[in-house]
Structure 1
Amino acid sequence: MQNPFENGDNHEGPNGIPVPPNYATVVRKDNGEIRIGKVGFSLTAFLFNVLVPIFRGDWYNLLCMIGIQMGITLGIQSYPFASTTDFATAWSTIEFLVGLLWGFIYNMMYFRHLFNRGFTPATQRSYDLLAKRGYLPKWLKK
């Protein structure tokens, strides 16, 4: 298969399929399960919030995200706003900021949870990429 990405040494997907340079592959040694995920800002988490962990089957992070969003919602709802316009402005601003928060931290949350479940970087390239971005927990660093 021809590699559409710039370097030709990243055939670490299933059956040797190439992965983009900003994606890392992790594998679970006991059953051989492979997960591939993006390292860096998650545009999908920014745009779609809690739908991303649903589609990935990441139930732990889904519950964390829902809990945080519920707390923020309850905090906004309990604040006495002078008008409906003030409430709408505050609501949309906070929702945008929460979307940015998920965009910046969701991929790290996803990889950290996979590491806690027994996954490890599949290749040295994935290890280096995850270590460079600070995604690896201290107990997994060499």
Structure 2
Amino acid sequence: MQNPFGNGGNGDNDNNNNEGPNGLPVPPNYATVVKEDNGDIRIGKVGFSYTTFLFSFLVPIFRGDWYNFLCMIGVNLGIVLGLYSIHFTSFQTFNFATSILQFALSFVWGYLYNLMYFRHLFNRGFKPATQRSKDLLEKSGYLPKPKKK
């Protein structure tokens, strides 16, 4: 199968990233992690999560990422309850403040969710599946760089 994300059809296999299921190619900004004891494979994007920015809580639900779902709900609930404790002069001002805060939180979750997802996978025993994924995760700060001796 021709790799739509890589070599441009020039036959150069140096940038081969066929690390998806059954050797399918993955985009260059995606990393593959595997749990060695049962062979469970997860593929995720490294960087800003536009899906989390647009759909917020639906992303961890569809990924089965209940830990980060509960973290996101808890932080949002704490912020909203803190907003309710402020006395606003009008309901219109409250709605404006709420909408600005929700938009800002969408950006925060967009930047943080993929990092939180990978870190939780690493805590559950997942490891980068290939050297390309390991390098990408280290370069982006998702995986701690090995300490030099």
TM-score (norm 2): 0.91
Query: Between Structure 1 and Structure 2, whose CA radius of gyration is higher?
Result: 2
Aligned to 2:12: none
Distance in 2 (CA, whole Å) between partners of 1:81 and 1:6 is 54
Aligned to 2:11: none
Identity %: 69
Task: Give 1:1-142 correspondences, 5 Å limit.
Answer: 1-7=1-7, 8-137=15-144, 141=146
SS in 1 for 2:104: helix
Deviation at 1:123, TM superposition (A): 0.4
Counting helix residues as a fraction of each chain, which structure ranks higher?
1
State the aligned residue count.
140
Deviation at 1:6, TM superposition (A): 2.4
SS in 2 for 1:12: coil
Q: Is the 8 A contact 1:112 1:137 kept in 2?
A: no
Which has the higher relative contact order, 1 or 2, with Cα contacts under 8 A spaced 6 or more apart? 1
Q: Which range moves more in the overlay, 27-36 or 5-14? A: 5-14
Cα RMSD after superposing both structures: 1.1
Distance in 2 (CA, whole Å) between partners of 1:126 and 1:69 is 31
